[in-house]
Structure 1
Amino acid sequence: MKGFINKRAMAMLLTIIMALQSWQLAVPPAAKAAGALPTGWMATTMNGTSTGTSIVKQEASSYSNGQFDIEAVDGKQQSVSGTANGDTVYFLYMPVEGDFTITARLVSVAGPPDNSAINANSRAALMVKNGVSNTSASFAASYFPAISTPNTGSLGYYRRFAANNSNSSSVSSVSTPVYLKLQKLGTTFTASYSADGVTYNSPYATQADTTTMASAALNVGLAVTHATVKFDNVKIVNASGTIFDSASSTTNPNPGTAPVAPTGLQATAGDNQVSLSWSAVQDASSYTVKRSKGQGGPYSTLVSNVTGTFHADTTASNDTTYYYVVSAVNANGESENSSEKSARPQAAVVPVSSITVSSSGGSTISTLSGTLQMQANVLPSNTTNTSVSWHVYESDGTTATDKATINGSGLLQASKDGTVRVVARAKDGSNVQGSTTITITGQTNATPPSAPTGVTAVPGDGQVTISWNTVTDATYYSVKRAMSSGGSYTTIASSVYAATYLDTNVTNGLTYYYVITSRNANGESGNSAQISAEPSGTPSSIRISSITVTGGTAISAAGGTLQLQATVLPSNATNASVDWFVFEADGVTATDKATINGSGLLQAAKNGTVKVVARAKDGSNVQGSAAITISGQTLPDTTIPEDVDGNQKVDIGDLGIAASLFGLTSSSPNWEAHKAADVNKDNVINELDLQLVANKIE
């Protein structure tokens, strides 16, 4: 009880600490006074007929030294239609014609100016709207701040194209500052992001609209709900050039046109060089080639003022991967980078021409499980890649073998007697191989079973029942009989699986002498001790002549059962009882795929095929069988629910994680990344989850 109280107190203490930290993070700075926006920028509050927390209140904005400070209380980006819904946001914008790109760095996010906390409706977004009402068609690249740590969150998008209204959270674990990009190309709108403002990821959202964003000039800018945010490095570019750039605090609605990015970039690796080519760009006066050793940059200028569409990078080194982009330049500026291409220079390849396989230990293995170290002599000596892969086959060089195994370094180990072929195959793609033959002896190390003991012979009327003790390593038994003591013996029954046999081919009044042998894959035992019997009397029993096993052919449920029946003929057999057995599909080998009880109930354990055998108990040695297919058997779930961090143990780290996420629900942003802390799976992380984790700590 004391341990439980300590764990409970620890969990509550962590919960209180995290709650205090969340409250401190949620307290925003004082509301900012409205300030003048840059030339061409406008601000509007789009509330429609919404009420309560769905409408924007206490909104304000200012602009200074290239930075937008924007704040608002309440509001909500809603993906359903209706005049009370839509984009109820505080929106700063300027009209832009044609295709465009807006980029901005989200510097920071804090609580709104009324000192309330960040909530599930808080957003900071780049937005384009076909109008300025809350129900106007729109597309937004949105940042979703985490409730307790608003400068860590996720990225998603909202679209409002006619009735096709939807939203999505696409990228998790994003921290400010982060660069956002919203782009329109024709009728396609995309959202992407970047850590450095130079290299943007592939769009995490791509949406097409053909009818609703149809105005010649769309309103492009920044949107905020229930938060205080800072944006800088805001830049809007369309086909005519830069419309706005906060870095230079200039607005230029009619600039000259910079060229478009080059296409068709190709990078071909050579020996200590890479050849680059690309398609010509109209209106380009020159090109700049850039290179990086990391995918996605950052890129350094390799050469500028290239007037053609080809460049050979002779500064490249072999065995190093380089990533290239090209930009086009004219008097009005530089294009964006082309798509990236990579190349890895390498020295000229010298292929393998021949392989000779040998061993300093000779060409035979004669000791039990002995080994032989193989070597491969690869020619020419200056071949680029001298490594080989090792294989062992039957003597034909193609058929798989169980006579030996070989490891990656060419160590051959014997398993069975015979001849094998060892093959060394070149790894350079030349398909060249060499081989040699190895003879294996001395691998037999098995003995036949011992002779049965406890043999008895019970005479009857026209029959003798012989029984003996089961031999542990025997597969089956043979019964031998003679008419005189000491033999000679004649085998009267072989492949007897039970430890009993009924001899009905006898004559009353004569004495018969019996011995039993046991057999397995390694041979036959010697004879058992001799036993004799003299049958007499009147016949009184009817023996079983056949057994048919029915009841089904498959089990598909995990741990499932199948009740099998044995139909015995003739129907008036004196003893109709049977013994039940289950083997591998060969009907001989013991199996772990299923078990069967004395009444014929088969229970599955592993996938595969087994043979069920019903064997007569009357000594007739008659048996019947059926093949059963087993599927659907899976390993048990060993997951520990209280193991929040997935390290296969429950400790104070799991409790700390659960405490840090206290209060999150399934509707919270980034729930998928945190729901492991919801131990009891009730869609909320609360005191019960902390208690469950604390109780599990050793």
Structure 2
Amino acid sequence: MKKVGLAIIALFVFLNLISIPKSADAAGAAGIDVSVVLKVGDTINLAAGYPKVNWSVTELNGSATDKAAVSNTGVVTALKPGIVKVIATASDGTTYTGEILITILGNVEEKPAAVLNGTATVNPGGSFDLTYGLRYVAGGIYAQDITLTFDSDKLEFDSAVSLKENKISVVDISKQTGKVRILAASLGEENANAANGDLIKLHWKVKANAQPGTAAVQLTNVVVSNGEGVETSLNAENHSEIVIQSAPVNKQPLLDLIAQAQTKHDGAVEGTLPGQYKAGSKAALFTAIDAAKAVADSSSSTQANVDAAVTALTTALETFASAVNPDKPSIPGDVNGDEKVSIGDIALVAAAYGKTSNDPDWNEYKSRDINGDGVIDILDLAAVAQIILDEYLAAN
């Protein structure tokens, strides 16, 4: 059992703070700046003869913890790895309180290692970052040779940036298919001990055609060297996870096209007159609209399904547009579009007699303006009649 003397209580009472020298075990190597470092199973007595104190132990945020226990006499027992806060509150009527942080290390001895950290959930075409660093590595590291492998079908390596600017530099990078090698160096003797913790930010891109699922990035080989050129291979620890999710399906272009097609369908009239549509053309367009709506309404539609539906409906609209009867008869005087000039055409002109280009429904009747002067009158009737008679005389 580790014990702390009456000096601790004196500080507790008069400064409202417990301050215990850092233990001389793994704390130094781990770079942990806390008051006490224990290993699982260790105990320490914080009371040392000051009886009127209430003791408690919590997580750093004040919540309950199972990492350590403290007795009513101030004996702390380390139970699980982690950091806890031990709080002492005077019970003698004063308002003195104090607290101390205790770091608990696991029983397994920590070994020097190179570490790759980072998690990301990304869409195809997106980007993410991972972090490379060293842990529990003694000082005096002047150079590092770092190799990573990755899933080249899904990922692309972009760049590497030092997280310790002016202390550690990324000297050079070699990119290969599915592999990247990074050479880094500490900038001078005063920075050789900076090679610990997070050192390099690694930027990656997800390929636009990457399939959903996980994508691997692995730290596979790390060699470091001290100032005398002695090289050491480090254990590589990979704590990265990259999940590529399905890209969100953009249905808006399809929805806009459906609305456009529906408007054209609803406003169209089938018939033989100019500006009307050939029989059956509306039904064909309606079938195409219905198929497009099924894709738009389905939650399982992929972007490829939506794009194909846009193409199909666009083609249907083009076909529908080509089914409209021309504004002007293809045969002069053939107002009803039956490919002949007869009494029926005279009747259509007579039915529109008096219409002018100033009328709001002129577009419906302008094909009956045979001479194109903006008014349907006796001249147009005469023109159709003349065509009929000329054809009769020519045939007889």
TM-score normalized by the length of structure 1: 0.15
TM-score normalized by the length of structure 2: 0.23
Query: Whose helix proportion is higher, 1 or 2?
Result: 2
Query: Whose strand proportion is higher, 1 or 2?
Result: 1
